Amino acid sequence: MYIVLFCTTKNQKEAKKISKKLLNKKLVACSNITKRVDSLFSWKNKVESEKESLMILKSKKKLFKKICKIIKKHHSYETPEIIAIPIVEGEKSYLKWIDSTCQGKSC
């Protein structure tokens, strides 16, 4: 099964650092990074607001735990957002590219 993961970071520099580690380990095929997302969220009983970057990662479900391990190791947040949604349909050659790219080298 193929997945798209979302992970916010404190800035674009951190997102690029984490993305490169995931790509080098062949855990993701692609990372799209936004420069700035205005995030509003509840944290420790308060509504908070931050300017963040967002990574949109493409991979396979079987690599999710390894991806989480790398993100948590290099992320500055106490509780980083790491969520995945299934890709229910995709263009055949794109999904084949994900298959050939995401090999999950040992962490």
Residue 103: pLDDT band (50, 70, 90) is confident
- Contact assessment for residue 85 and residue 3, using Cβ atoms and an 8 Å cutoff: yes
Give me the residue spans of the domains in the chain: 2-101
Model's pTM, two decimal places?
A: 0.91
Residue 31 has pLDDT above 90, yes or no: yes
Question: What pLDDT does 107 receive?
Answer: 42
pLDDT in tens, 48-81: 999 999 999 999 999 999 999 999 999 999 999 9
The DSSP output letter for 38 is E
The architecture in CATH of the region 2-101 reads 2-Layer Sandwich (3.30)
